[in-house]
Structures are given as structure tokens and as C-alpha cells.
Amino acid sequence: MTNAISISSQASHKAAQWLSYSWSSSHNASPVLAHGALALAEICLALNSDSARLVETVISDILAEDQLNFAVADLVTALVSAAAVIKAGTSPTQSSLHIYLELLGEIIPLSTQDANGVIARMALEGVTLTEGDASAPLMEIDLSLLRSGRVEDTKRVLERVEVETRFGTRAVRVGAPLPELLEGAGIHALSTYDLPLGMRCLRACCYLDGESPLAIEADFLRLSQCNDGSFGDFEAAIRKMSRKYRQSEAELHIKLPVTFQSLWTLAELEDRSFRLFRYVFGTHGLSASR
Amino acid sequence: MKHLFGSSEREVLLTGIVSWLRTHIDSFDPPQEDDILNVAPEEIRPDKRRKAFGELGAALRLTMRVPELAQNPEIRWLINEWVNLAKRRQIFFDVRRRVHLFPQCAVAYAVLKALGHPVEEVGQLLQTVLNRGFIDRVEISAWHKLDIKYYLDSAGLQHGFADDVTLLNESTLTRLPNLPYATTYDLYGLTHLLFHFSDFGLKDLRPLLGRHFEQIRRYAGLALSMCLSMQDWDLTAELLMSRICLSVSDNLLDREAAHALCEYQQSTGFLPGRAWMEGTIDGEGARDRDEQEFFDVYHPTLLGLFLICCDAQTR
């Protein structure tokens, strides 16, 4: 996906500019931030090849510092940052990455029944797309979970969708009104500014229903991009966090994951053939890329 | 067209609602208007008791459109009680000067007419107030204008409110607020406009809404699924009615929402409001708590009755 005029492509170039500037302003950032920055760099490259110059500097700075620790990042961030490290070629980090990937299969059971297991399996074994047809498995979910008023119930439904569809790479058949209910849950989450939950709902909607326009939600995300290229309006949260961290570091802590997820979601909403994990892990997985 | 509720589901919902209304009829009792003599008439404002009484009347008015409901002995009882309360409490007392009570008096007058108890002299009083040239000339939203206009038309009173096309163009229906930013107030605006433009589902909205029709249908569906996620049963019922007004039928999302309403109906028959769901009803003493609970749950419960009427009359 390198269409320079698409919305997610333009948004990612702006995000790359923010990353480049913010990273150069931060000093001795923690491994968690380093992984977040690498993951964001990787998705920026995926969405807009013109961002290469901006993000390659960030990647080489991080690798030169040799500050990575894959175990401290969340699984998605660790694995997407791993892809960035592998693409960058030789670095001192390669050996720790090698150990991490070897341990991954042992740490996380490669179960196909939980989301982390599915992600780990896709990272190690690669991703293939399964087109939908009448023989696709029928997914049945207790719809009352989406009106129980409990966020953990919504997350249970999301995990089922992510697992069953392998994050949108395997077609399933699903009956109405599950996609509509998930979309409603997503808008509810966005309206309370729970962006990670809202975006996760929207991606799940894409995995279930390739036709639904989700235009209101795409607009919401597009207009959540700040002038500097980062996503989300978190002035108060950053100010509060600045009591503990430096301002620049506080901003990275809050905005790196949200910006990463915003680009991921915008891209999957905009181009229904784009799947982040397929792009990042390829058809043979990260192990084969080393 | 299929009904929104299965027959046994509908029976349980209706029986529970009517039973709860009967048990709580005293809580709908409005103030004794001719006892309020020490306040300047122009300063008397509508309060929650008057509002609840008017809304009960509006719901009962709609039952008259469904023969099965109009003949239901429990509903007949409620209608008699409502009419008796209206007379006993002198609800139209001094209406020519109690201008803030005019909208509620107009609703009550239209309700009495629909229930077969017209009070002709009140019609003349209300018409005089309208003829004074201010009720239909105030700066209020298209939603609130249409709310009043609908009941004035229903009562056969003459007014100067704009026609439906003009009100539509002044309203948010042609430019709905983006849903993640929409407030509950915005959504009540949407639902009330649809109720009254369509006469609670009797009039096809396609000719009026034109190119906006499909977009509004989709918006109302998305808002409905959002309200389900929020467990907002008041707006869920309002939006389900709106979907009927928009001629949506045989829809699985709507069936799911109707099913959720039945599921959350409490054993005494009421549908919970927002405070009840959040567990924030905490008055001092049982009496205070009961009153808080009443004012939280009566509206969604009445909407359950409205919804049953709309569902029955349009199919």
C-alpha cells in the first residue's frame, strides 16, 4: 500500500514527520518507547514509501543505541518493531531478536484460540489470506455481550472476532446484526474517547464486513490527527504525566501507541485488502526473514 | 411485515408496563392548579410532575389507534384515571396567563380530544393565547417548534408555525451531528422530529425527507446500536420508534434491540432509566428513593407503551 494520495498514506507521512522530530528531541528514551517508535516507523513505511528518509534515521538511531528489550513491549509492538529491526539488517540487536523469536513459541502457546497465540503464530509462520465463500466457517456470538455494559465483555467479543478471522486474513460468515452492534460499540467507545477500544472495534467491523463504509469513524480518526502529525488530543493527560516524565517523553508514551493504532485502523478501514499483519509478517513469517 | 416483538414477548412487556403504570398512577398526579395562587401566573413553569402527567396522556392517546389496546380494560382504567385527574386538578386553570404551561396544556387538550373528552371552552382559550401572536414566534429549535405544532394540529388549533418542509430545513435532520460527538440531547432531537413529522409512523417520510431519507435511516440504526452498547433503554426505545417511523421492518438489529428491552424490563414492569442502570438512585429515605426511581424510570416505561402502539399500528 504505497498510494501517495490515499488518506492513510498522507496521514502516515505526517505521522512520520512527527516521529522524526519527536524522536530527535528525546534523549535516552526507554526501551518501551524505542519499540513504539520502531513499530510506528514500520507502519509509516508500509503506508507511504516517501516516508523512508524520515523514519530510517529514527530506526538507525535506535539500533545504534542498542536499547531494545523485546520482552518489555506489548506483543504487537514487539513483533512489528521486530520486523523493522530485521529489515534494517545487521545490528547488535539481531541476536536479542533471535532469542526473543525463539522463546516466543515457548512463552506464548501457539494456540489458535486466543489473540496473542494467533499473532505469535502469524509472526512465526507467516500469513496467508483465505478468501470467503459459502464454505467459510459460520461465526456465532452471544450478542448480549455487546449490551452488557461491561467493557470486558466487548473485549471478549473482539478477541473472538480477531481469532476467528485471524485479524482479517481469514473469511468467516457472520449473521446480522453482529457487525452493526460492533460498530455501535466502537462509536460508543470513540464518544467516550477510549480510542484504543474504539479502533479495535472498527478493525473488527472490517474483518467481519468488508462492505460497511465506516465513513463516520474514518472521519473521526482522520480529524484526530494533530497539526504535528501525531494522533489524539491528550493535552491534559500529557501535562499530568509530565510530573513524572519529561514533557517530550510523556508525549511519546501517550501518543506513540495511539498514533500507531490510528494509522493501522485508518489503513484497514480505507483499503479493505490491506492487513497490517500480512504486510509485516509476510507469507513466511519473521523467522524466515532473518 | 413482521412485528418487532414476538407475541408472548409483547404480551409480557405490555402487561408489565400497564401494571406498573396502574400501581404508580398517583405519582403521575399533577399539581392542583387552582390552589397555586401566590405565584405570578407568568412565572409558573412546567415541572417534572406536570411533564410526567402530560407524557402519560400522550402515550394513552396513541393506544386509541390500536383497537386491541383501546379496548384493553387496564388501559381503559388508566384513561379514566387520567381524564379524572385532568378535571380534578383543573389543569387548564388560568391558562391564558400561565404562558409557560401552554405547550403542556396544548398536549393535554389534544389528548382529551383524542380520548373522547373534548373540552371546547379550553380550545377557545388556547386559540386566544395563540392569536395573541407570541407562542409561535419565539426563538426555539425546529424540534421544539414541531413538538408544539404537532399537538396544535392534532387539536385543530390555528397557528403560525412554519410548514413541515421549512421546519425540516431548519432542523438537524438535513445535517446530523457526527455520531461520536452527538449528545443524548441531539438524539432526542432526531427522534422527536421523526415522531412528529411522521405522526408516529402513520405518514410515509420518504416524500418529506427525499434524498436525506436513506442517510437518516442508517444514522438512526447506528445510533440505536450505540445506545444498546450504552445500555440507554430510554433512547433505545425512542430510536426503535424512529426506525418504525422510517419504515424499517424485519430488521435483525431492531429485533435485537426490542429483545434487549424485554430482557431488561424489571419484574414490577418498568423499564430502567439511566440513573437506575448506573445505580445512582440514592435519595434520603425510602420515600425520596421511590420518587427518584419513579422520575428515572417512568419515561422509558411510557416509551415501551408508545413503542407497542407504533409497532401495532403500522403493521
Mean pLDDT value across residues B73-81:
98
pLDDT > 90 fraction of chain B, expressed in percent and rounded: 95
Q: What is the pLDDT of residue A4?
A: 40
The DSSP bridge partners found for residue A130 are A170
Residue numbers in B near A154 (CB within 8 A): 229
Q: Do B224 and A184 touch (CB under 8 A)?
A: yes
Task: Provide the grid cell at B98.
Answer: 400561565
Mean pLDDT value across residues B31-43:
96
* CB-side neighbour CA atoms (13 Å) of A133: 4
Helix axes B285-313, B252-264, angle to 10 degrees: 150
Q: Do A188 and B182 touch (CB under 8 A)?
A: no
What burial class does residue B211 get, using C-beta atoms within 10 Å of its C-beta: 0-12 exposed, 13-18 middle, 19+ buried? exposed
Q: Find out whether A252 and A29 touch, Cβ atoms under 8 Å.
A: yes
Q: What is the pLDDT of residue A3?
A: 47
Q: Is the pLDDT of residue A175 over 90?
A: no
Q: Is the pLDDT of residue A48 over 60?
A: yes
- The A residues from 195 to 214 touching B (CB cutoff 8 Å) are 198
Q: Is the pLDDT of residue B12 over 90?
A: yes
pLDDT tens-digit series, residues A237-262: 999 988 888 888 899 999 999 999 99
Q: What is the pLDDT of residue A1?
A: 52
Q: Do A191 and B229 touch (CB under 8 A)?
A: no
Q: Which residues of A218-248 are buried (b: 16+ CB within 10 A; e: fewer)?
A: bebbbebbbeebbbbebeeebeebeeebeeb
Pick the closest to residue B178 from A216, A21, A47 (CA basis). Answer: A216
pLDDT > 70 fraction of chain A, expressed in percent and rounded: 94
Residue of A nearest to B252 (CA): A177
- Indicate the average pLDDT of chain B: 96
Helix (H, G, I), strand (E, B) or coil at B282: coil
CA pair distance A57, A17, nearest whole angstrom: 11
Q: Which of B225, B227, B276 to mutate to test the interface with A (most CBs of A within 10 A)?
A: B225
Q: Is the pLDDT of residue B194 over 80?
A: yes
Residue of A nearest to B177 (CA): A216
Q: Which residues of A64-87 are buried (b: 16+ CB within 10 A; e: fewer)?
A: eeebbebeebebbbbbbbbbbbbe
Task: Provide the grid cell at A250.
Answer: 510523556
Mean pLDDT value across residues B183-207:
98
Is the CB of B180 inside 8 Å of chain A's CB atoms?
A: yes
Q: Do B228 and A147 touch (CB under 8 A)?
A: yes
Q: What is the pLDDT of residue B114?
A: 97
Q: What is the pLDDT of residue A248?
A: 85
CA pair distance A51, A28, nearest whole angstrom: 24
Q: Do B180 and A143 touch (CB under 8 A)?
A: no
Which position has the grid cell 429483545?
B259
pTM: 0.94
Mean pLDDT value across residues A71-92:
89
- The domain spans of chain B are 31-161, 163-300
Q: How does DSSP classify residue A139?
A: E
Residue B131 CB coordination number (10 Å): 12
Is the CB of B99 inside 8 Å of chain A's CB atoms?
A: no
Residue B19 CB coordination number (10 Å): 14
Q: What is the pLDDT of residue A88?
A: 86
Q: What is the pLDDT of residue A105?
A: 75
Q: What is the pLDDT of residue B315?
A: 64
Q: What is the pLDDT of residue A290?
A: 55
Is the CB of B225 inside 8 Å of chain A's CB atoms?
A: yes
Which position has the grid cell 438512585?
B281
Q: Is the pLDDT of residue B129 over 80?
A: yes
Q: Do A220 and B180 touch (CB under 8 A)?
A: yes
Residue of A nearest to B183 (CA): A191
Q: What is the pLDDT of residue A131?
A: 74
What burial class does residue A155 get, using C-beta atoms within 10 Å of its C-beta: 0-12 exposed, 13-18 middle, 19+ buried? middle
Is the CB of B280 inside 8 Å of chain A's CB atoms?
A: no
- Rounded to the nearest angstrom, the minimum Cα separation between B181 and chain A is 6
Q: Do A184 and B226 touch (CB under 8 A)?
A: yes
Q: What is the DSSP string of A55-103?
A: HHHHHHHHHHHT---GGGS-HHHHHHHHHHHHHH-S-THHHHHHHHHHH
Residues 6 or more apart from A239 whose CB is under 8 A from it?
none
CA pair distance A209, A173, nearest whole angstrom: 9
Sign for the CA dihedral angle at A239, A241, A243, A247 comes to: negative
A258 alpha-carbon distance from chain centroid: 9
Mean pLDDT value across residues B67-89:
97
Residue A145 CB coordination number (10 Å): 17
Helix (H, G, I), strand (E, B) or coil at A125: helix
What spatial distance separates the first Cα and last Cα of chain A, rounded to whole Å? 23
Q: Find out whether B55 and B302 touch, Cβ atoms under 8 Å.
A: yes
Q: What is the pLDDT of residue B169?
A: 98
Residue numbers in B near A147 (CB within 8 A): 228-229, 231, 260
Residue numbers in A near B180 (CB within 8 A): 187, 190-191, 198, 216-217, 220
Is the CB of B258 inside 8 Å of chain A's CB atoms?
A: no
Is the CB of B165 inside 8 Å of chain A's CB atoms?
A: no
- Rounded to the nearest angstrom, the minimum Cα separation between A212 and chain B is 11
Interface contacts (A, B; CB < 8 Å): 66
pLDDT tens-digit series, residues A28-37: 779 999 999 9
Q: What is the DSSP string of B55-114?
A: HHHHHHHHHTTSHHHHT-HHHHHHHHHHHHHHHHTTTTTTTTT-GGGHHHHHHHHHHHHH
pLDDT tens-digit series, residues A50-68: 999 999 999 999 988 877 8
Q: What is the pLDDT of residue A109?
A: 64
Q: Find out whether A237 and A245 touch, Cβ atoms under 8 Å.
A: no
Mean pLDDT value across residues A68-90:
91
Task: Provide the grid cell at A34.
Answer: 524505542
Q: What is the pLDDT of residue A289?
A: 61
- Indicate the average pLDDT of chain A: 90
Q: Which of B214, B228, B243 to mutate to test the interface with A (most CBs of A within 10 A)?
A: B228
